[in-house]
A and B are shown apart, each in its own frame.
Chain A
């Protein structure tokens, strides 16, 4: 039986949210992203895209390409609030929803024929009501699996709808650029492009072993996607596997004190997020990128915890051990993985009652007034670090 999968994607989501809040941005090129020298574009409006601006591009380059663009710093909290409203509307109507990212949802309506007579009409109505209720433009693609639906959405954008019927997935994909296949990123694209492969059609005609030889393990999945084959189910819930934070410095640095401050700040924030989501971590990772873009990661196991000082000790230990070369650091990052639900076990000798009470009071204040309401004094003066 053919499945019916809908992929819904909010058009230039961050920009749309900003426009809701400030209508003067309508019709103008808007770029969301860091404005510092090292910032990158997180999202941009279609008007800006005409100038060649695209997401993940350095802000500086975007400024050169489109000097009249309006730069907005962006507010993740507000975006995720709006995203949740959209998710709620979809979940009210759809039987099986996977939230793939902040602005993407997959819906599986397979076998709902008795209730949904015309799936295109049903999706259209869902889309209309999202636009009506939230004011955010959204596009969708309807097809037999996640990959084809996603590509269809990409073709439908902006603010459009596209259906790819069962049996013609291959035909639909064939004339498209290989860049449209999810999973073909910068490196794979360059590799394939250098081999003279431009259209999906070419991959479709290649025998599987050949593409596997070129792309290794990844080859099979890309070949399948190019042929419109994707058996991945729509998964309603996937647990968060890790939490991470990174800071790119305005200027590469070797200042140990500054690095330490940034680490402390990131750990404070992440550990607070951990505790807020009632989780503890069992593995911490430190990431260092030097000015020559060489990137190294170091990880170590910890007994399950969400305590600032335990995590800080571990990270600083990793940092001390591994940052021995006096090379300029461009980026520093930390990641907590192996997350499980639970609370920090209090230590009989290391944790004093005062400290535990302090942590809990700080968390209480932060939950009510926001993370920045209270912080370690060491970080008061370094607001501009990140």
Chain B
């Protein structure tokens, strides 16, 4: 097996899929890229068993088909040092010795039998839909920060995708915050729902970048398969029943705060510096048209208080939040003004954009308060 490729093209493509590689694998073969050469097309895969990404790489010359697993770290480290030059790979099909020659240099390393690389699951009885890549990356960006990290509750570590004939809804929650992102301009032919793990979504987001291209999604009960341009990503779905998130979104929220997003954001950022650095809790006290933000760290006698003018309908109230959650949400909203809707100090606060320009999207961010005592 033999081929020649440009060092920069190869490096770029390999780097884009290398994010899926784990730093310590139970299966040593997963520390490798799988190179498959068929006639004159080269397909490279990287996998962690849960997620596999393959990409088709442009090559200038190919001889003898075959497949081999090449140690990922050595290959990436080597390619990084080259300027843009053609690199030729010669692989001995019997002992998997790899010879790389570039410019005046020759480098040897040993690969592994490509057939040891875990096989891609074949997708049976799938349904499919196609959505735009910009829509997909936006949905990922809006939701992924709200996913949980609790190993005991794997269901919450993913993004819940709810497909219907009218819209697609993406939901993420870690039980303290929740994001529901609905797009009315994307549709599916039938109703379906599945939970996508965090890692492949991050990979998708990184590979797609700002590309504007249709993404085909095929799915069944166990796997989802994304394909666009020269990249394929297949991932295992998170099994289980997603919590009934609709039931916990309070419907009646008579206390409504309208405030400038950026000034709210920067005030919280400032005040939170004075909060306890493990709990990051801030207090919102709303009376009339005035919002007072405060934080304190009893252990260091740190204290901060800021006054903000706002529009407010409802009873005076005092509520405490983890500032990290609010900050993440405010940075993920885009409008100039936002609404914070509340009902009681013990119940969820709901952040909504005001006058969103994009009429086809519906964003709801929910954050649970802390139990202020005394």
Q: Do A and B come from one complex?
A: yes
User: What residues make up the interface of A, taking CB atoms closer than 8 Å to B?
Assistant: 239, 275-276, 278, 280, 282, 304, 306-307, 340-350, 353, 356-357, 359-360, 363, 367
CB distance from B322 to the nearest CB of A (A): 6
Is B372 on the interface with A (CB-CB < 8 A)?
yes
- Residues of B close to A353: CB separation below 8 A: 346-347
A342 touches B276 (CB 8 A): yes
Q: Is B371 an interface residue (CB 8 A)?
A: yes
B205 at the interface (CB under 8 A from A): no
Comparing B79-87, B251-259, B331-339, B362-370, the segment that makes contact with chain A is B362-370
**Cβ-neighbour of B248 out of A276, A349, A357, A363 (below 8 A):** A349
**Contact B178 A278, beta carbon cutoff 8 Å:** no
**Contact status B371-A282, CB under 8 Å:** no
Which chain B residues have a beta carbon within 8 Å of chain A's beta carbons?
Answer: 173, 175-176, 178, 243, 248, 276, 278-279, 281, 296-299, 320, 322, 346-348, 366, 368-374
Q: Out of B178, B279, B296, B369, which one reaches A346, CB within 8 Å?
A: B369
Query: A280-B279, A349-B248, A353-B347 known; A343 and B175 CB under 8 Å?
Result: no
A356 contacts which chain B residues (CB < 8 A)?
Answer: 346, 371
* A347 touching B175 in the complex, CB below 8 Å, given contacts A278-B373, A353-B346, A367-B374: yes
* Inter-subunit contact B279/A340 (CB<8 Å): yes
Contact (A343, B243) CB under 8 Å given A357-B346, A359-B371: no
> CB-CB < 8 A to A239: which residues of B?
299
Given contacts A349-B243, A356-B346, contact A341 B279 (CB under 8 A): yes
Q: Which of B178, B281, B346 contacts A342 (CB 8 A)?
A: B281
* Least CB distance, B228 to chain A, in whole angstroms: 34
Do A346 and B368 touch (CB < 8 A)? yes
Residue of B366, B370, B374 touching A348 (CB-CB under 8 A): B366
Considering the chains assembled together, what is the distance between the CA atoms of A350 and B248 in angstroms? 11
The CA of A104 and the CA of B80, in the complex, are separated in Å by: 66
Complex: A304 Cα to B346 Cα, angstroms: 18
Indicate which residue in A340, A341, A346, A348 contacts B371 across the interface (CB closer than 8 Å). Answer: A346
Q: A282-B278, A342-B276, A357-B346 are in contact. Are A276 and B175 (CB under 8 A)?
A: no
Q: Which of B322, B347, B369, B373 contacts A275 (CB 8 A)?
A: B373
- Docked pose: A356 CA to B373 CA in angstroms: 11
A340/B348 in contact, CB under 8 A:
no
Q: Closest residue to A347 on the B side, CB-wise?
A: B175
16 pairs from A and B in contact (CB 8 Å cutoff):
A275-B373, A276-B374, A280-B279, A307-B371, A340-B278, A340-B279, A341-B279, A342-B281, A344-B371, A345-B370, A346-B346, A346-B368, A348-B173, A348-B175, A348-B178, A349-B243
Write out the residue numbers on chain B whose beta carbons fall within 8 Å of the beta carbon of A342.
Answer: 276, 278-279, 281, 370
Q: Nearest residue in A to B281 (C-beta to C-beta)?
A: A342
Nearest A-chain residue to B344, judged by Cβ: A353
The answer to whether B373 touches A363, judged by C-beta atoms less than 8 angstroms apart, is yes
Q: Flag if B298 contacts A348 (CB, 8 Å).
A: no
Compute how far the CA of A347 lies from the CA of B371 in the bound complex, rounded to whole angstroms: 10
Roughly how many angstroms separate A276 CA and B374 CA in the complex, as a whole number? 8
Q: Taking CB as reference atom, which chain B residue is nearest A357? A: B346
Tell me, in angstroms, the Cα distance from A282 to B277 when the chains sit together: 13
A383 to chain B, nearest CB (A): 27
Give the residue among A282, A307, A340, A363 with the most B Cβ atoms within 10 A: A340
Q: Does the CB pair A360–B370 fall under 8 Å? A: no
In angstroms, how far is the closest chain A Cβ from the Cβ of B3?
Answer: 51
Shortest CB distance B364–A (Å): 13
B298 to chain A: closest residue by CB: A341
Task: Beyond the given A306-B371, A341-B299, A360-B346, please list 4 additional residue pairs across the A-B interface where CB-CB is below 8 A.
Answer: A344-B370, A348-B173, A348-B175, A348-B178
Report the Cα distance A106→B272, complex, angstroms. Answer: 35
Give the complex CA separation of A363 and B296 in angstroms: 22
